Amino acid sequence: MMKIAVIGASGFTGAELLRLCANHPDFSVVVATGETQVGAAVADLYPSLAAYYPNLSYAPTDPAAADGCDVAFLGLPHGASQTLVPDLLNRVGHVVDLAADFRLRDEGLYPTWYGEPHAAPDLLAEAAYGLPELFRPGLAGARLVASPGCYPTAASLALAPFLRAGLVEPAGLVVDAASGVSGAGRPPKPNTTFCTVDEDFTAYGLAGSPGDGLGHRHTPEMEQVLGTAVDGSALSAAGDVSVLFTPHLAPMNRGILATCYARPTDDALDTAGALAALAEAYADEPFVVVSDRSPSTKSTYGSNAAHLSARVDPRTGLLVVLSAVDNLVKGASGQAVQCANALLGLDEATGLSTVGVYP
Residue type, 58: Y
- The Cα 50–Cα 12 span in angstroms is 15
CA angle, 141 then 146 then 148, to 5°: 130
- Distance CA(334)–CA(182), nearest Å, equals 15
Neighbouring residues of 274: CB distance < 8 A, sequence distance ≥ 6 = 162, 167, 310, 311, 312, 319, 321
Instruction: Report the catalytic residues.
Output: 150
Beta carbons within 10 angstroms of residue 336's beta carbon: 26
Nearest-CA neighbor of 180 among 332, 9, 12, 326?
Answer: 326
Q: How far is it, in rounded angstroms, from Cα 2 to Cα 21?
A: 10
Longest CA pairwise span in the chain (Å)? 62
Q: In this structure, are residues 2 and 28 in contact, taking their beta carbons and an 8 Å threshold? A: yes
Burial 185-212 (b: 16+ CB within 10 A, else e): ebeeeeebeeeebeeeeeeebeeeeeee
- Helix, strand, coil shares, percent, the chain, to 5: 30, 20, 50
